[in-house]
Structure 1
């Protein structure tokens, strides 16, 4: 699970005037670096993919339940209900995990904005812009989104009535949707960080 030990917000402006300027600048640089790593680091990207993988596992159980229900015999119905329970048991915790991660991202973003407005330091600000990390998020998320769209629409367009089972078709289309939604989230995060950095540090 994501760590919750976030740095404190910056001291108010009237208190910063009484503090040592070099110490405040050093704290700002250190905290901005840490917040930037938590917001757009490789670890956050891998965590997003891990959540997507858990959703994919849960959807696999749901699709297996649909395939079992298609068989129509009593044993398959029992097996289908077992797969439904397993799917829900995976998807619900994954949803809570995703919600906690989104809430932590909002907290990190708020602290980033607050510390960025607490002063100016070109060297520290350049590290927070993180064009390399933003590009990594952008390219990998774009590739993941393209793969998801190809899987979703490719399976839908190539399906023929009576040849593919509906459960199998739903599985591949749902898996593709998980991939392209994950890619879309990554693209949105990279784009939002870039626009924010340009507005705050170059405006």
Structure 2
């Protein structure tokens, strides 16, 4: 289903609920939770997320290339050519960053809807399929790899930079690229872990304290 499709509404208040029986309520609940879970962790969501991260990295690569070129010095003609390259970099980085932020916000909205629909009833046996371990693992592994690479770029590269061999612009570019990957990795890991914990509470309800 297209990501432009509106999100399902929250469950109706208790005094407006009109399910004829529990089986119907559980069927509607399962349908909404399955739909939202797929939109949160599905292959399309994973591809879109990393395409947006790639867009941010592409924009930063163009901007970083301009910074490195300016640091190395250039002739007037090359300096003029940096203007459209810089504009292209900003044109890629800013929209991709904005849409990435909106995707994080939309994920929080979906997580809130899932929590409210799940609270309608308890169906541990039926909810077992909502765990989606394969999809969660895909998010976790790709995000961990990106985050580890980002940490290496952001901290190891500057720490091992050699005076006279590496310029400030090159170090700044590596730190920026690493920070983008590190933040993206944190977002992806947080999404996978949040879904796992949410699904685990459905299958194994918490025991009230006595």
**130-139 vs 98-107, which deviates more?**
130-139
**153-162 vs 178-187, which deviates more?**
153-162
- Partner residue of 1:42? 43
- Partner residue of 2:199? 197
Cα drift, residue 17 of structure 1 = 5.3
- Partner residue of 2:17? 16
**SS of the counterpart of 1:34?**
helix
Structure 1 regions of 5+ residues with no counterpart?
none
2:135 matches 1:105: no
**SS of the counterpart of 2:164?**
coil
TM-score, with structure 2 as normaliser: 0.85
- Partner residue of 2:32? 31
- Matches of 1:84 and 1:2, distance apart in 2: 31
2:156 matches 1:154: yes
- Matches of 1:137 and 1:98, distance apart in 2: 16
Cα drift, residue 85 of structure 1 = 1.3
TM-score, with structure 1 as normaliser: 0.87
Cα drift, residue 137 of structure 1 = 2.0
2:136 matches 1:134: yes
Cα drift, residue 49 of structure 1 = 0.9
- Matches of 1:199 and 1:120, distance apart in 2: 10
Cα drift, residue 158 of structure 1 = 2.8
**What is the 5 A alignment of 1:174-193?**
174-193=176-195
**35-44 vs 54-63, which deviates more?**
35-44
- Matches of 1:62 and 1:171, distance apart in 2: 8
Q: In the alignment, is the contact (CA less than 8 A) between 1:152 and 1:173 conserved in 2?
A: yes
Cα drift, residue 19 of structure 1 = 2.5
In the TM superposition, what whole-angstrom CA distance separates every residue of 1:74-131 from its partner, at most 9, and x where no partner exists?
2232222222211111112112211321232122112101110111222332122333
**Higher fraction of helix:** 1
**157-166 vs 83-92, which deviates more?**
157-166
- Partner residue of 2:54? 53
Cα drift, residue 18 of structure 1 = 5.1
| RMSD, aligned CA | 2.2
- Partner residue of 1:168? 170
Structure 2 regions of 5+ residues with no counterpart?
none
- Matches of 2:147 and 2:104, distance apart in 1: 20
